[in-house]
Structure 1
């Protein structure tokens, strides 16, 4: 494998960048990672080692994220979908495996609807058709702390909004809590404005566009104790996608890639290389919500295989 290559581009006046770890003998299409609202193109290095053995890996800082240009909250996820399409055209790497996390889900969902030719497989973690009122209250509290320049308050509110209550069994809770609080409390300078714009973009989001997806194998998953993008919301997203599988990662919440990073890395590698998922003991039983109406009509219980 070659060393990291960082590319910088401009779309509609906004600079963005990506990091490419090339595999000269891949076993599957390139894996493109679109992280969460407060992550950057280095956030998934703990997971990507396994993927890089099988594919070229592309991590992206869209405008508003990481080291890319700031992006005002008035620019919605449809704009970010256009930026992602621009990136894939520039890289000219053919069809790709897209992995999107939370904030990244509307970005890749919009791209898959408008440019399905770019997508070989789709993995959506922490998906929701729209954020529920209780989730929005947590995000509003985060935005308020950012607007006041209160880094410690922002860190505290982030833990409250993104992690499950203490009575839920979550792997590595103490370590992840410390990591999340440390990273959020470390923001300074224009970081407040950047994080505030990203948070407002989520709060102001009007939900996934009408119409589902067809022709793209899709994995939807989150933590079984996710209180921000609850399991029922992820199941709803999966039901809109014709060839989708839905499952939950046991003993995690909205942050399974931090709480069980080895398992999530294995899950994604298996999915992107067309290996079976039903033997992974850290998952709940696989579901196919998009088939439920047909299954009921045929006399099969919803969720049956």
Structure 2
């Protein structure tokens, strides 16, 4: 069994880190994971077992996340993209399979535009071209609780913003609700500032840049009951990417990696190893939105900035 290797680097004065699980005989390019706003480089351990059997796996704490240095909200996703490019250059992995979750989607998208030579495949979970006003209200409520140091209020508002209403059928809802509420209520000390900066970074984000992506096989997906990055928003992002595949994980919301972690793990393994996805019964039918006529060289889709 490979032993995790933890690396720490500094970019423009901000420390960041990654955890590498090496595979000496991989079947595909390294899998690089950048998680959501409140996750860290250990958050995907429940999913990564099958990935480590096929590839070297790298899980990243960019500045502002996990055990990396705090990052003021004034530093946007452009800066985090530069940090990720710095990491990939330092590790010298060649092309990688990049999996980006929610908050990390703008980072991965910008990397694909600026440094496409780094990517073999791209998987985006919980993508949106921009957050509509209604969704921003939930994030603003979270930011207000953090600014006032109200951990219990932050936990309640996080559950409300990130999880589907109780009438929607969501797998393992009770367990995931307890886990999310517990983790958010545990924020203390400088954690309030760190979480507040990450939340403000999303709120102040101007949206994906105009134009699309080409030449990188891409999977876009989220939960079928996602109310934060709704399916139509993810479909919009997929329409910007040449030959992308879009699908939904049944009976999940914005947190499919918690609610159906085995299924999400299998989905990503299949995608990163070029296996068919259309036989997976936990997915909605595969869609290819970019074939509807969007010109990725023009970037005329709605929501571009």
Structure-1-length-normalised TM-score: 0.96
Shift, 1:211, TM fit: 1.1
State the Cα distance separating 1:272 from its structure 2 match. 0.1
Number of the residue aligned with 1:78: 78
Count of aligned positions: 294
For the pair 1:201 / 2:194, whether they are aligned, the reply is no
Q: 1:1-305 counterparts in 2 under 5 A? A: 1-293=1-293
Q: CA deviation at 1:205?
A: 0.1
State the Cα distance separating 1:31 from its structure 2 match: 0.2
In 2, Cα distance between the equivalents of 1:199 and 1:251? Answer: 26
Q: After superposition, give the CA deviation of every residue in 1:85-123 in whole Å (9 maximum; x if it has no partner).
A: 000000001000000000000001000000000000000
Tell me, which stretches of 5 or more residues in structure 1 are unaligned? 295-305
Give the distance between the partners of 2:222 and 2:8, measured in 1 at CA.
31
Deviation at 1:57, TM superposition (A): 0.2
* Structure 2 SS opposite 1:195: helix
What is the alpha-carbon distance in structure 2 between the residues aligned to residue 222 and residue 134 of structure 1?
18
Displacement of 1:218: 0.1
Give the aligned partner of residue 297 of structure 1: none
State the distance in 2 between where 1:222 and 1:125 align.
5
| TM-fit CA distance, 1:292 | 1.2
Q: Secondary structure at the match of 1:103?
A: helix
Residue 301 of structure 2 corresponds to which residue in structure 1? Answer: none
Q: Distance in 1 between matches of 2:133 and 2:181?
A: 23
1:185 positional shift:
0.2
Residue by residue over 1:165-222, the C-alpha shift from the partner in whole angstroms, topping out at 9 and shown as x without a partner, is 0000000000000000000000110000000000000000000011110000000000
* Distance apart, 1:293 and its partner CA: 2.4
* Mapped partners of 1:29, 1:275: distance in 2: 14
The alpha carbon displacement at 1:159 in A equals 0.1
SS at match of 1:50: helix
Quote the Cα distance in structure 2 between the aligned partners of 1:135 and 1:23.
Answer: 40
**Following TM superposition, by how much is the alpha carbon of 1:2 offset from its aligned partner in structure 2, in angstroms?**
1.9
Structure 2, unmatched stretches of 5+, are 295-305
Query: After the TM superposition, which segments of 4 or more aligned residues of structure 1 sit over 2 Å from their partners?
Result: none
